[in-house]
């Protein structure tokens, strides 16, 4: 008894059966210099596109969701950016504008960070002056 189930003979010939191309000595069926050149050219042309897509995905990684209420004019502005094809979604447009706003207001944010550091220093000083035995992180 055979280990494998019966495999009936497959029909050969007929109008839908592909005819194998002759294989040149030392080559693969259907490979010509032009086909190989075209394949290599296509691959090389797709590499920058693939890299660009990977970079775009990396830059678009967002791990925080924020629910925001917008004025009608601001919402229309986001819709305009999407309709123009600049962004795919309103979310992408809004994230871009928020990022750019924070970059543009860099000096303001630096000042705020400095004030927050000072506030935290003063809080720590108060905690220690009120009750030196309380050690909070």
Q: What is the pTM of this model?
A: 0.47
Tell me: pLDDT of 4 over 60: no
Residue 90 has pLDDT above 90, yes or no: yes
Q: Which pair of tokens denotes residue 8?
A: 């009936």
For 135, residues 6+ apart whose C-beta sits below 8 A from its C-beta are none
Say which residue the tokens 């986001």 belong to: 78
Instruction: Give Cβ neighbours of residue 136 (< 8 Å, ≥ 6 apart).
Output: 127
- With beta carbons less than 8 A apart as the criterion, state whether 78 and 93 touch: yes
- Boundaries of every domain in the chain: 32-61
69/24: higher pLDDT:
69
Is residue 59's pLDDT more than 60?
A: yes
């Amino acid at each position: 008894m055979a280990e494998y189930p019966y495999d009936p003979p497959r029909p050969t010939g007929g109008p839908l059966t592909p005819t194998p191309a002759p294989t040149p000595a030392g080559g693969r069926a259907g490979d010509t210099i032009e086909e190989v050149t075209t394949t290599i050219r296509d691959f090389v042309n797709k590499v920058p596109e693939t890299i660009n897509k990977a970079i775009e995905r990396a830059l678009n990684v967002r791990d925080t969701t924020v629910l925001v209420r917008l004025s009608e004019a601001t919402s229309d502005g986001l819709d305009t950016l999407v309709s123009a094809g600049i962004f795919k979604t309103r979310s992408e447009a809004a994230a871009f504008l928020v990022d750019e706003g924070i970059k543009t207001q860099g000096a303001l944010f630096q000042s705020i960070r400095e004030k927050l550091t000072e506030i935290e220093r003063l809080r720590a000083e108060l905690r220690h002056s009120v009750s030196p035995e309380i050690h909070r992180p």
